[in-house]
Amino acid sequence: MPTSAYTVKGMTCDHCVNAVRSEVAQIPGVTDVAVHLETGRVTVTSSEPLDDARLAEAVDEAGYELVG
């Protein structure tokens, strides 16, 4: 299973972490999402390679910005 790491900008609290985790988890094929508030690091495990545009859309839907 592929694992990819990303940086999300704008998270400031546990609510932010939960919002990002919830939106990213809804992407088809995603099997695990780990979000680290202090670094803004989001690690996603999926059954197939993720589409970065779809991930950016999910993060945007949560109210934050995918960096890079």
Average pLDDT, the chain: 96
Average pLDDT over residues 27-37: 97
Q: Give 1's pLDDT tier (boundaries 50, 70, 90).
A: confident
Structure confidence at residue 23 (pLDDT): 98
The span from the CA of 2 to the CA of 56, in Å, is: 17
HSE toward the beta carbon, residue 1, CA cutoff 13 A:
11
List of domains in the chain: 3-67 (3.30.70.100)
Distance of CA 1 to the CA centre of its chain: 16
φ, ψ dihedrals at 46, nearest 5°: -140, 160
Structure confidence at residue 47 (pLDDT): 96
Q: Give 15's pLDDT tier (boundaries 50, 70, 90).
A: very high
Both tokens of 1, joined, read 């299973």
Q: Give 34's pLDDT tier (boundaries 50, 70, 90).
A: very high
